[in-house]
Structure 1
Amino acid sequence: MNIPEEVSRVPEELKKAGFEAYLVGGCVRDVLSGRKPKDWDVTTNAQPEKIERLFANTFYENDYGTVGIVNEDISDETLKVIEVTPYRIEGKYSDKRRPDTITFAKTLEDDLKRRDFTINAIALSIEKISGETHKFSIIDPHGGSIDLTKGIIRAVGKADERFKEDALRVLRAVRIATEMKFVLDKDTEAALIADGDLLGHISAERIRDEFVKILMSDMPADGLRLAHKLGILKYILPELEEGIGIEQNKAHAFDVWEHLLKTLQHSADKKWPLHIRLAAILHDISKPETRRKNPSTGEWTFYGHDVVGARKVRVILERLKFSHEIIDKVTRLVRWHMFFSDTETITLSAVRRLATNVGPENVWDLMNVRMCDRIGTGRPKESPYRLRKYQSMIEEALRSPLTVGMLKINGTDIMSICELKPGREIGYILHALLEEVLENPELNTKEYLENRANMLAKLPIDELKKIGEKAKLAREEEDEKIVEEIRKKYWVK
C-alpha cells in the first residue's frame, strides 16, 4: 500500500506515546480500492489535548474532538492537514443533521459502528518495521472489505437508523455509488427510499456540496438518474424532472430530461470544470415552460427558453448557495447558448458582440457548452464545419489587431512633436512606425517613436507617402497570413 510519509508518521507518533491509532474512513476505502484519497483521517483513543501535545503544528476548533495536524511546505493539498479524532459515540440526532451529544469512546469497535456505510467503517493499522517498510493490517467488523470487492454500498447496522441519524447520508449514498460506480444493497436502497424525505431537514449548502461531487464524478448522469429513481432528486434539482417526457423537435432525438443528462455526461467525458458541467445540465432547463406547438408546421418551439432559463438558473444556483462567480458565469453561458447562426452570413462584428455579451473570458466555455449540447441531441459529431467556422471567427475577432493603436504614440502626439497640421502625412508616419515596431517590438517606446517620427516628418511628401503605403500594404498582408493560419487550425475556409 502507498501511504505517504506525512500520513503514516501521525499514527506512528501516537503509538510511540502509548496510544492506539488507525487510518479510518474514506481514505482507507480509497487506498484499498486503488484510488487516491482526497483527505486523510486518523482515529485514536487519545484525547484532543494529548494529541496536540505530540505534534508541533496543530489546530482544534470544533466540538467533535478533531485535531488538525498541519504539514507545511507541501504542494499536495490532500496532505496539508491530517485530521485526528478520538474514538467517539454519538447521541440522538434530533435535527437529523448533527448529534445532540458526543461522548469519547474507549474502543475502536464503538467508533466504527457509528459510521455510515460498511466501506467507510474499515480501519487500517500501520506498523513500522524498519526504514520505509511497514506492516499493514485491516480491522473490519462490518464486512466493508467484502462489499468493497463486490462494489456494494451497504449501511452499517440498520440502514433506517443510519439515515435517521444524519439525513445527508441518503444523498451521500448516491454520491459514493456514483463516484465508485457501485450499486446499493437492497436493504439500504429500501431504507433510502423510505427516508428520502428527511433531506428536507438538510441545509442547502450540504446538499450543494454532495451535488457538486456528483457532477464532478466520471458518470454524473448516472448519479442523477439514480437520484430520480430513488425519489430524492426533488431535493437537489426538482426543475430537472420537469423535462421528463417533454418531446422536442426533429433536431433532437431525446426528450428534454434525457438531452440534458447526455449533455452533462459529455461535459464530464471531456473533463470540463464545474461551471461548464452546471451550464450543460441547466442550459435547457426552461424548455418545458416555453414549449409551444407551431400551428402551421406542427413542430414544437421553445422561443425565449435561453432568456427565461438564465433567470431560472440564477434562482436555482442562489437557492443552492453557489458563489457569486459561479452564478454569474453559468447564467451567462445559459443566456447565450443559442448564439449559433449561419456562418456564411454572420459578420465578425456580430461575433464581437457575442463575446462582449457573454464576456471574452467566457466565450470559449460557451463553445464547449455548445459542443456538449450538440452531442446531447444525439448527433455523432461535436464539432461540425459550422461550429469550427464559428470557432475560427471568434479567434479572428478576439485576436489583437495589427493597427496603429498598438503604438505608444498617436496622431495627436505626432502633430505636436513634428509641428504638423492634420493631413495625410500623419497617417503615413503612423504606418511607417507600425511597420518598424512589427519587425522589432522593442522599438515601441515613446522616446524612440518620437525621435523616428521627427526624422520621417522631414522627408519629402512623395518619399514619405511611398514609405507609409508600403508599410500599410505589408501590415495588411501580415494580417491576411494570420487569419489564414487561424482558419487552417480549424480546417475551414
Structure 2
Amino acid sequence: MKLPDGTEHDFVPQPADVQEDLLRRDFTVNAMGLTAARDLLDPAGGRADLRAGRLRMVSEENLRADPLRAWRAARFMVTLGFKPDPETEAAVRRIAADLAAGTLPMPAAERVRDEMQALLAAPEAARGLLALENLGLLALTLPELREGQGVTQGGFHHLDVFGHGVEALHQLLARMPDAPLPLRWAALLHDVGKPRTLDRNPETGRRTFYGHDKVGAALTTQILTRLRLPGDEVKYAARLVGAHMAQLPADDQAARRFAHRRRDLLPDLLRVMLADREAARGKDSSPAGRYAYMLAMNRVLEALEAQPAAPAPLLSGEDVMGLLSLPPGPRVGEVLRALAEARAMGEVQTPEAARAWVRDWAAAHPAA
C-alpha cells in the first residue's frame, strides 16, 4: 500500500491464529505483536527479555527449522547488546555442530552473507567475530581465518594470526567508525595468507611468512566469492590485502611514486596498513617506530593531496607504437605505464620530452 507521503508498506494476510504464528518465531523479542486496539501480544515473554537485554529462543525446534537463526543470534548479541540465556547459547552450539556434521543443511550462502555483512557493519564487529567463534559458527563461515589460531608471529606481533586479524578490524573501526564493508573485510583478512606461507628456520627458529600478501589476496577472493559478495567489492578487498605489505616511502620523491602506483587504493590502503600496525604490540614495537610509520603515511597523504588525480597522458598508444615500431600488445602498455609514472614524478612534462624519454627508456629496458 502506498501512502500519500510516498512511503510504501507491505502487508501479509493475518494468520488464522496470531498467537500460534508468534510462537513459530526465532527469539522471544521477535515474538511480540500488537492488536488493532494496540494491545500487546506476547505469548513467549519477550517483553521481559527485551527489558533485561536477554536473548532467549522461543524453542530449539524453531531455530532448527531455519539454521540461519543461529547466525542471527550472534548478530543480535553484537548489534543490540543482548546476552543469550544458557539454554539458547547451548542450542546454538548444538546447531552449529550439526551443521558441521552435515546432519542439518547449511543456509544459502546469500543469507549467511547478509547476516555477516550486518554483523560486520556493527561498531563492535570485532567482538562479533569472537562471538561467532564462541558459538561454533566461525568454522562454518570463515574457516580460513581460523587457520591462524595458535600461529604465533613474534617481532612486532603480540597476538596469534587469528587474534591479530580481529584486533586489526577493531583498530580500523576505532579510527574510522563509518568504514565501508570492503575495507572492514580487508582489515580482518589482511593476514589470512600467513598460516599457509609459514616457514621456520631450523637453526634460528625464526618464523617467516613470505608471500602471505599474495596468498591472502587469493584467499580473500575465494572467501568473499563463496559468500556471494558483489564482484567489485571482492576485487577491491582482495587488492587491499595484496598491497598491505607495500614499503612506505622514506622521502618525498618515493611518496609521490607510492601515491601514483597505488592511487586507486588510497587512502584505504593506508587505513589497512595503519590498522595492521596498531594491532601489533610485540617486543619490536615502540612509540618511536609507530611515530616514524605515521610520518611516512603523512608523506603519502601529502603527495596524494598535491596530485589527487593522475596527470593527463602525454602520448597515446598509437604514438608509442609509431615511435618504437611496435605492434599492439603488452609492451605498449608497459611503456605507457612507465611514462605515466615519469609524468607523475615530474620527470617529463611535454609531448616532445615524452618522445625522447620513451626512446631512452625502451633502449634501457629491452623487451623480455
Taking structure 1 as the reference length, what is the TM-score of the superposition? 0.56
Q: Which residue, 109, 113, 137 being the options, matches 2:19?
A: 109
* Partner Cα distance (1:191, 1:70) in 2: 46
**Aligned-pair distance for 1:337?**
0.4
Q: Which residue, 230, 236, 248 being the options, matches 1:341?
A: 248
Q: Which aligned pairs between 1:282-297 and structure 2 lie closer than 5 A?
A: 282-295=189-202, 297=204
The equivalent residue for 1:205 is: 110
**Aligned-pair distance for 1:149?**
1.6
1:139 aligns with 2:41: yes
The equivalent residue for 1:275 is: 182
How many equivalent residue pairs? Answer: 302
Q: Deviations over 1:395-425 (max 9, x none)?
A: 3256349xx979xxxxxxxxxxxxxxxxxxx
* Partner Cα distance (2:12, 2:307) in 1: 56
> SS of the residue aligned with 2:95?
helix
Q: Deviations over 1:48-69 (max 9, x none)?
A: xxxxxxx4x3xxxxxxxxxxx7
Q: Aligned partner of 2:23: which letter?
A: K
1:377 aligns with 2:280: yes
1:247 aligns with 2:128: no
The equivalent residue for 2:329 is: none
Q: Aligned partner of 2:166: which letter?
A: L
* Partner Cα distance (1:70, 1:194) in 2: 49
Q: Which residue, 368, 393, 397 being the options, matches 2:271?
A: 368
Q: Deviations over 1:200-244 (max 9, x none)?
A: 421111111101111111212222212112212122111111111
Q: Deviations over 1:295-325 (max 9, x none)?
A: 4643211111001111111111111111011
The equivalent residue for 1:170 is: 70
1:123 aligns with 2:33: yes
Q: Is the 8 Å Cα contact of residues 249 and 301 (structure 1) preserved in structure 2? A: no
Q: Is the 8 Å Cα contact of residues 248 and 296 (structure 2) preserved in structure 1? A: no
* Partner Cα distance (2:228, 2:312) in 1: 44
Q: Is the 8 Å Cα contact of residues 317 and 327 (structure 1) preserved in structure 2? A: yes
* Partner Cα distance (2:82, 2:296) in 1: 42
* Partner Cα distance (2:145, 2:270) in 1: 23
The equivalent residue for 2:9 is: 82
**Aligned-pair distance for 1:163?**
1.8
**Aligned-pair distance for 1:288?**
0.6
Q: Is the 8 Å Cα contact of residues 246 and 255 (structure 1) preserved in structure 2? A: yes
- Structure 2 CA distance for partners of 1:307 and 1:322, relative to 1, 3 Å: same
**Aligned-pair distance for 1:346?**
6.8
**Aligned-pair distance for 1:380?**
8.6
* Partner Cα distance (1:181, 1:234) in 2: 23
**Aligned-pair distance for 1:343?**
1.7
Larger radius of gyration: 1
Q: Which has the higher strand share?
A: 1
> SS of the residue aligned with 2:43?
coil
Q: Which aligned pairs between 1:188-199 and structure 2 lie closer than 5 A?
A: 188-196=88-96, 197-198=98-99
Q: Which aligned pairs between 1:383-398 and structure 2 lie closer than 5 A?
A: 384-397=291-304
Q: Which residue, 211, 235, 254 being the options, matches 1:304?
A: 211
* Partner Cα distance (1:380, 1:119) in 2: 47
Cα root mean square deviation, aligned: 2.9
* Partner Cα distance (2:203, 2:252) in 1: 27
Identity %: 34
The equivalent residue for 2:135 is: 230
Q: Aligned partner of 2:21: which letter?
A: D
Q: Is the 8 Å Cα contact of residues 249 and 296 (structure 2) preserved in structure 1? A: no
Q: Aligned partner of 2:265: which letter?
A: N
> SS of the residue aligned with 1:303?
coil
**Aligned-pair distance for 1:340?**
3.0
**Aligned-pair distance for 1:121?**
1.0
The equivalent residue for 1:154 is: 56
Q: Deviations over 1:130-150 (max 9, x none)?
A: xxxxxx543222111111121
Higher relative contact order (CA 8 A, sep 6+): 2
Q: Which residue, 233, 248, 268 being the options, matches 1:326?
A: 233
**Aligned-pair distance for 1:342?**
5.2
> SS of the residue aligned with 1:307?
helix
Deviates more, 1:313-322 or 1:197-206: 197-206
- Structure 2 CA distance for partners of 1:207 and 1:380, relative to 1, 3 Å: farther
Q: Is the 8 Å Cα contact of residues 259 and 304 (structure 2) preserved in structure 1? A: yes
Which aligned runs of 4 or more in structure 1 are off by greater than 6 angstroms? 379-383
The equivalent residue for 1:315 is: 222
Q: Which residue, 331, 342, 350 being the options, matches 2:257?
A: 350
* Partner Cα distance (2:148, 2:293) in 1: 28
Q: Aligned partner of 1:110: which letter?
A: E
**Aligned-pair distance for 1:185?**
1.4
Taking structure 2 as the reference length, what is the TM-score of the superposition? 0.74
**Aligned-pair distance for 1:384?**
2.7
> SS of the residue aligned with 2:16?
coil
**Aligned-pair distance for 1:81?**
3.8
Q: Is the 8 Å Cα contact of residues 371 and 383 (structure 1) preserved in structure 2? A: no
Structure 2: 5+ residue stretches without partners:
314-368
* Partner Cα distance (2:4, 2:270) in 1: 42
Structure 1: 5+ residue stretches without partners:
1-54, 58-68, 73-79, 88-104, 128-135, 407-493
Q: Deviations over 1:460-482 (max 9, x none)?
A: xxxxxxxxxxxxxxxxxxxxxxx
- Structure 2 CA distance for partners of 1:239 and 1:70, relative to 1, 3 Å: farther
* Partner Cα distance (1:324, 1:405) in 2: 29
> SS of the residue aligned with 2:12?
strand
Q: Which aligned pairs between 1:18-37 and structure 2 lie closer than 5 A?
A: none
Q: Which residue, 176, 181, 188 being the options, matches 2:81?
A: 181
